[in-house]
Amino acid sequence: MTNAMRVMRAGVTVLAMTTVAASAAVAQAPDRSKRPAPAKVPELRLPPIHQFSLNNGLKVLVVEKTDVPIVQVNLIVDAGSIADAPDKPGIARLTADMLDEGAAGRSALEIADAFEMLGARFGISAGLQTATVSLRAEKTKLTEALRLVGDVVLRPDFPAAELDRLRAERLTGLVRMHDQPAAISAVLYGTTLFGKSHPYGRAVSDNEATLRSVNTDDLRRFWQTRWKPNTTTAIVVGDITVDQARTALTQTFGAWTRADVKAATVPDVKQVSGRKIIVVDKPGSAQSVVRLARIGPPRTTRDYFALQVMNTILGGSFTSRLNQNLREKNGYAYGAGSGFDYRPIVGAWYAASNVQTQSTGPAVREILNELEAIRQPIPQEEVDRAKNYIAMGYPSGFQSVQNIAARLADVVQYGLPIDYFNTFTRNVLAVTKADVERVARDYIDPANLTITIVGDRKVIEPQLRELGIPVEFVEVKDVLGPVPVL
C-alpha cells in the first residue's frame, strides 16, 4: 500500500469517527426545556451522643469521632450577659475575657505560650445566654491541655494590671463605635425592640459606666457566683472514648465545688404595636443601615421548621425574595436578608439591608412590599426549592469536631432532643405549603414592626416622609451615650 493510500484511509477513518461522535452528541443532547430534578437529599447520621454527669453536677455530652486524632472540648456555662447585675451591665463579658489574663500564677503571655507549645487552640467568651470555653487539641496532648483549661476556669488570678489594660482597650472601642453605623444599628435594634432595661435590650458589648467602675473584686465575685459545675455542660467530640472522656474531665474538674446558683430571669416583653421609624442621624453616610423587626418566637417553638422554610424564601438565601428585589432587580444594595434571632424564652424577627443613601425610602417600601407578598399564597415550587436548599446544605455543618461541638451547644442551650440532628432533614422535608403560608401570616406582620435606620438625615428624611409612617430622629449619643473621654 502506497503512502498516499495510507493517508487517504486514515483520513476516511477520522472522518467516520468524527461523524459517529457528532451523531452521538446530537442523540445525547440534554433536554433543557425543564429544570433538572434535584439530587436525593442526603441523610445526616451522627455517631451516638452519650450523656452522663460528674458527681459535682457537671453535665457531659460525648461524641466519638475517630477518623482524625483531634479532640474538641467546649464548656457551656450559664454565665452570659443576661446574668449581668443591673448596675454592672457588661460584667459577664468582662469576667470571661479576664479569665485567661492570668491564672494559677501564670501570666496571660505564659498561658498563651503554653497552649501554643501544645499545638492547641483555646478561646473563651461570653454571649447573651452563656459563656463558652473552647479547646481543640491533638489526642496525645489533651490531658496537658485540659490541665491548662482547668487553671483558667478554676484558678483565675484577675490581675489588676490586665484589667486596666482591657479597660483602656474597651473604652477606645466604645469611642470607635460612635463612628460605626452597623454597631450603632445593632444597639438601637435591641433597645427599640426590647427596651433598655430588658436583658435582651442591653447591649452585650461594653458599657462605659461599668468599665470605669468595675474592679477585680467585682469580677471575682461574678465568677464565684456564676461559674459552677452544676451550671456547666462539657461537650467532648473527637478521637476519645466515653470512659476516656469521663476520666479526663474528672481529673480536671472533679474537685470543682458545686453551689446553688439563682437562674437568670428574662421578663416578658410586649409585641410591637403599630409602625414607627427611628432614625439615627449620621451626616455624610454613603449608606443607610436599615433594620425592620418585631418580637419573634423562642427556639423551642413547634413552628421552627416551617419558619426556617418560610424565611429561606423571604430572606434566608441568596435567591430569596428580599435579595432578588433589593440587589438584583433594583440595585439598592449589595444584599438583603431576614432571619429569626432565636433565644430560649422569646426571640426576634428582623429584615435588614445596607442600602444606598439616595435609595433609602424606596428600599424600605420594597421591603414592606415583600413582607406583604410573603403573606399571600406561595407557589409549591418555591416551597420545595427552599426545603431542598435547607436539607441539602445541612450536613456540611458537621464536617469537623469543632462544627459538631458548636451544634451540640444548641442541644444544651435550648433543651433539644438528643436525636434532633438525625431527624432534622426529615422534619424540614415534612413541612407543607400550608405550613409555610400559615407561619408567614402568623409571624410576619408589616403593619406592626419597628423600623430603625442609621443614615444621613438630610438626604433620607424627605424619602421617609413619603412612606406615611411616623418618623423620630435621634443622635448617636442617644443610643450609645456620650463619646467616652480617654
Position 7 scores a pLDDT of 43
Neighbours of 429 (CB within 10 A): 15
In three-state secondary structure terms, 354 is strand
Read off the DSSP letter of residue 327. I
Radius of gyration of the chain from Cα atoms?
28
Place of cell 423551642: 300
**CA 413 – CA 408 distance, rounded (Å):** 9
Q: Which amino acid is at 68?
A: V
Please report how the helices 216-226 and 91-98 are oriented relative to each other, as an axis angle in degrees rounded to 10: 90
pLDDT of residue 205: 63
**pLDDT of 6 strictly over 60:** no
One DSSP character per residue, 81-108 reads GGG--TTSTTHHHHHHHHGGGEETTEEH
User: pLDDT digit string (tens) for 271-283?
Assistant: 999 999 999 999 9
When pLDDT is cut at 50, 70 and 90, the band that residue 38 belongs to is low
pLDDT of residue 104: 97
Do strands 131-138 and 121-126 pair parallel, antiparallel, or not at all (unpaired)?
A: antiparallel
For residues 152-160, give the mean pLDDT: 98
CATH of domain 275-480: 3.30.830.10
Residue intervals of the chain classified under CATH 3.30.830.10 are 49-253, 275-480
**DSSP conformation class of 136:** E
DSSP annotation of 202: S
For residue 224, give the C-alpha cell.
464565684
β-strand partners of 291: 352, 452
Q: What is the pLDDT of residues 430-480, one digit of tens each?
A: 999 999 999 999 999 999 999 999 999 999 999 999 999 999 999 999 999
Q: How far apart are CA 313 and CA 336, in angstroms?
A: 12
pTM of the model: 0.88
Model confidence at 33, in pLDDT bands (50, 70, 90)?
confident
Residue 22 pLDDT > 70, yes or no? no
CA-closest candidate to residue 308, choices 335, 338, 287, 281: 338
pLDDT confidence band for 15 (50 / 70 / 90)? very low
Query: Could you count the other beta carbons within 10 Å of the beta carbon of residue 461?
Result: 16
* Residue given cell 496537658 in the structure block: 144
**49-253: CATH, from 3.40.50.80, 3.30.70.20, 3.30.830.10, 3.50.50.60:** 3.30.830.10
Name which of 57-61, 142-146, 266-270, 350-354 the model is least confident about.
266-270
d(CA 450, CA 278): 8
Section 421-427 average pLDDT? 94
Which residue reads 457537671 in cell numbers?
58
pLDDT tens digit string along 302-353?
999 999 999 999 999 999 999 999 999 999 999 999 999 999 988 999 999 9
CA distances from 408 to 70, 232, 247, 307 (A): 17, 14, 21, 21
User: What is the predicted pLDDT for the residue at 204?
Assistant: 58
